[in-house]
Chain A
Amino acid sequence: MMALTPESAVAVVMLLALTVYALLGGADFGAGVWDLVARGPRADAHREMIAHAIGPVWEANHVWLIIVVVLLFTGFPAAFAAIMTALHVPISLMLVGIVLRGSAFTFRNYDPSPEAGKRWNRRFAIPSVLTPVLLGVVIGAIATGRLPTQIVRLDQLFLPWLGRFPIAVGLFTLSIFAYLAAVYLILETADTALREDFRIRALIAAVTVGILAYAVYVLARSDAPLVFRGLKASRWGFPVRIATGACACAALWGLWTRRYGLARTTAVIQVALILWGCALAQAPYLVPPALTIASAAAPPAVQKLLLAAVGAGSIVLFPSLYYLFRVFKAHALASRAPGHRVEH
Chain B
Amino acid sequence: LAGSRAFDINPIAALLNAATLSETLHMILASYAATGILVAAVHAYYLRRDRANAFHRRALGIGLAVGGLASIVQPFSGDFAAKVVARTQPVKLAAMEGQFRTERRAPLRIGGWPDPVARRTRYALEIPGGLSFLATGDLSAEVRGLDAFPRADQPPVRVVHVAFQLMVACGVLMALEALWGAVLAWKLRRVPDTPRFLLAVLIAGPLGMIAIEAGWTVTEVGRQPWIVHGVMRTAQAVTPVPGLWISLLGYSALYVMLGVIVVAMLIRQFRSSPSAEELAAQTRGGRPA
Contact = CB atoms under 8 A, between A and B. Distances in A.
Contact of B9 (A110, A157, A302): A302
Interface size range on B against A? 20 to 34
A153 B9 CA distance: 36
Q: Report whether over half of chain A's contact residues are helix, strand or loop; otherwise say mixed.
A: helix
Given A92-B250, A103-B258, A111-B265, A305 B11 contact: yes
Nearest to A88: B241
B11 A85 contact: no
Interface string A92-107: 1000100110010001
Contacts of B269: 110, 112
Interface string A159-172: 00000000000000
B231 interface: no
Contacts of A107: 261, 265
A107 B258 CA distance: 10
If over half of B's interface residues share one DSSP class (helix, strand or loop), that class is named, otherwise mixed; here it is: helix
Nearest to A84: B239
A92 B242 CA distance: 14
A305 B13 CA distance: 12
A99 B247 CA distance: 15
A1 interface: no
A86 to B, nearest CB: 9
Contacts of A103: 258, 261
A257 interface: no
A151 B241 contact: yes
Contacts of A85: 239-241
B1 interface: no
Nearest to A156: B242
B7 to A, nearest CB: 8
Contact of B247 (A92, A100, A298): A92
A154 B268 CA distance: 44
B239 A110 contact: no
A299 interface: yes
A257 B9 CA distance: 58
B240 A299 contact: no
Contacts of A152: 242
A288 B265 CA distance: 47
A150 interface: yes
Given A88-B247, A96-B254, A107-B265, A301 B9 contact: yes
Interface of A: 84-85, 88, 92, 96, 99-100, 103, 107, 110-112, 150-154, 157, 298-299, 301-302, 305
14 contacts: A84-B239, A85-B240, A85-B241, A88-B247, A96-B254, A103-B261, A110-B265, A112-B268, A151-B241, A153-B242, A301-B9, A301-B10, A302-B9, A305-B12
Interface of B: 7, 9-12, 239-243, 247, 250-251, 254, 258, 261, 265, 268-269, 272
